[in-house]
Structure 1
C-alpha cells in the first residue's frame, strides 16, 4: 500500500493554499488527484501540472485507476490525496485503500447542497458518504486552512 500522509476533500483540488500550505504541512512529495472528470480532461491536467512545484510529483487518476495506484507497493513517496467529493473516498475505502483520516476542507455551495460548516456545503448524499467514512472508523474532520483547529464532522452530519 502506498504511504498516504494526508487526505483532503477540496473541490478546487489544486490551488494556492494546497500548494503553499497543505503540501508542506503534510510533508508530502506527491499529490494524487482522484476524479473521473479531471482524469478525462487533458487541458485541466495541463493547467494543474503547471501549478505544482517542480519538486512535487502530480498524478491524476479516475477512481478505478486511483484505487489500483494507491493499493500498489510503497515506493517511499509521501502522498497527499485530493478529491472533490466524499463519495470518492468511500469507493477507495470500500476497495481496501487504508484511510486513517480525512480533512474536509472545501466543498462549495451549489444546487442541492446546504451549508454544513462555515464555507462547506453538502448534499444529503454527501452527508451519508461522510457518515459512511466515520462508520468505517476513519477520523473525518473540518479544517479549512492549516492554522484552523480540527472540528469533527460527526457533530454536523
Structure 2
C-alpha cells in the first residue's frame, strides 16, 4: 500500500481533489476518515458517488480506519482525506504513520484563527499539527498539486 496523499480538507471530496490531486497522484482509492460521514449512509453514498468509476472510495470512522489501513493491498495507491488533523494523530498513536500531510482546506470558523491565506486552525488543531510534525510527518499547505508547497513550520 502506498499513501500518495494524506490531506486535511473540511470539504473532503470536491473539485480540487478529484481533478488536481487524483490525476497528480495516480490514486486508485480514496479513504475518508470522518465519524459523522461514516455513520450516515446517505453521506457515505454521496461520497462514493462523487469519485470516478475507476477509483474506489471507502469511508471509515476514526476507530475503523486503523484496521482498514492494516488490510490494504500492496497495489493500492491511496488518497486519505480527513476534515481535521485529529484522525491523523489518532492513527499515529495506533501505529499508522504518514510521511507527508497536506493541509488543503481548513476554513474559517468559530474558534479558529487564520494561519495562512484561507487556512485557519484552532489552538488545539495547531498543537495536533505540531504533534504530527514532531512524530515525523512533513506537514505543509498546498491547495492543488500545481501550487508550491508552503511548509507549516515556516508559517507558524
In structure 2, the residue matched to 1:5 is: 4
Once structures 1 and 2 are overlaid, which stretch shifts more, 66-75 or 96-105? 66-75
Alpha-carbon distance in structure 1 between the residues aligned to 2:145 and 2:100: 15
Unaligned runs of 5+ in 1: none
Alignment of structure 1 residues 62-101 onto 2, 5 Å: 62-101=61-100
Q: Report if the CA contact (8 A) 1:5-1:80 is conserved.
A: yes
In structure 1, the residue matched to 2:54 is: 55
State the Cα distance separating 1:108 from its structure 2 match: 0.6
Q: How many residues align?
A: 156
Matched, 1:35 2:34: yes
Once structures 1 and 2 are overlaid, which stretch shifts more, 113-122 or 39-48? 39-48
Give the TM-score taking structure 1 as reference length.
0.95
Once structures 1 and 2 are overlaid, which stretch shifts more, 68-77 or 90-99? 68-77
In structure 2, the residue matched to 1:145 is: 144
In structure 1, the residue matched to 2:115 is: 116
3-state DSSP of counterpart to 2:23? helix
State the Cα distance separating 1:98 from its structure 2 match: 2.3
Alpha-carbon distance in structure 2 between the residues aligned to 1:106 and 1:87: 14
Alpha-carbon distance in structure 2 between the residues aligned to 1:97 and 1:71: 8
Unaligned runs of 5+ in 2: none
